[in-house]
Structure 1
Amino acid sequence: MKINQQLFAILGTFFLAVAIVYTIWTRGTEWVGIPALFALAGMQYMIAYYLRLVEKEYKTGVDDKDDGEIEEYSGTYGRFAPWSWWPLGLGAAAAIVVLGVAIDWWIFIIGIGAGLFFVTGWVFEFSRGQHKH
């Protein structure tokens, strides 16, 4: 956790320096990249601050120990369904959304509807009735 916190703090400092240099370089006339770079630096600092706040709630990770081994990372990371078709449909819906942005708004709306359908199906994939998990 400490390494991740330091990593995001370093990235925030880097993006802040890049934003300042970019502002000076463009003489403050470019109003898309300048706020985006400052926002990117702010997001990195927010993640570093969040990791610092939750550090006390979680036990020390393997990456925080000097003698930690890679094998200590092993374990269950989640429950995944290798037979699920919902992600494929969601990818197709995302492609339709991008196509709709390029062509016309009605295709975009169809893609959003398909995306909502596939996201809902993926979320409730393991639900077999009311309140079952």
Structure 2
Amino acid sequence: MKIQGKMFLWLSVFLLIMAAVYGVWSKEPVGTTALVLSFGLSLMIGFYLAFTANRVDAMAQDNKEADVADEAGEVGFFSPHSWQPLALGVGGALAFLGVAIGWWLLYFSAPLLLVGLWGWVFEYYRGESQNQ
């Protein structure tokens, strides 16, 4: 995690320099504000990663002699078959399309989003996947 912290801190330095150059050169406040806010976000993430790197054990990416297989292992549990992300994706696409076309499209996307979210949250509480 030390490497990621350093990367974000160097990115924040780069963004601050680019914000200054862009602000002086273009005199456009919106882009300059976006770059300054990106600098702040990158600085917060970099500080958090650098701060927590001292509290956790060293990972394989912190060792220069490490192989790719050193971090191998179980990453987590991922649902093998789920239709809920498709419903959420279609509902989200319709919702964002509603912003461009008309707010009336949210009447069709909101139920799809709610059904997809409800199904995804409670996916393993019913059917053959239910814990007994």
Interval containing the TM-score (normalised by the shorter chain):
0.7 to 0.9
Shift in alpha-carbon separation, 1:125–1:57, aligned structure 2, 3 A: farther
Equivalent position amino acid for 2:95 in 1:
V
Q: Tell me the equivalent position of 1:62.
A: 60
Q: Which residue of 2 aligns with 1:82?
A: 80
Determine the structure 2 residue equivalent to 1:111.
Answer: 109
C-alpha distance in structure 2 between counterparts of 1:35 and 1:126, whole Å: 44
Question: Which residue in 1 is equivalent to 2:20?
Answer: 20
Q: How big is each residue's C-alpha offset from its partner over 1:27-53, in whole Å with a ceiling of 9 and x where there is no partner?
A: 2xx232111110001100100111122
Q: Which has the higher helix share?
A: 2
Equivalent position SS for 2:104: helix
Query: What do the CA deviations read for 1:50-76 (whole angstroms, capped 9, x no partner)?
Result: 112212332110000121111112111
| Residue matched to 1:7 | 7
How big is the alpha-carbon RMSD for the aligned residues of Structure 1 and Structure 2?
Answer: 2.0
Q: Percent identity?
A: 37
Return the TM-score normalized by structure 2: 0.87
Q: Which amino acid aligns with 2:11?
A: L
Moved over 4 A (4+): none
8 Å contact 2:6–2:50 — kept in the other structure?
A: no
Structure-2 change in CA distance of 1:55 and 1:89 (3 Å): same
> Taking structure 1 as the reference length, what is the TM-score of the superposition?
0.86
- Structure 1 residues not aligned, in runs of 5+: none
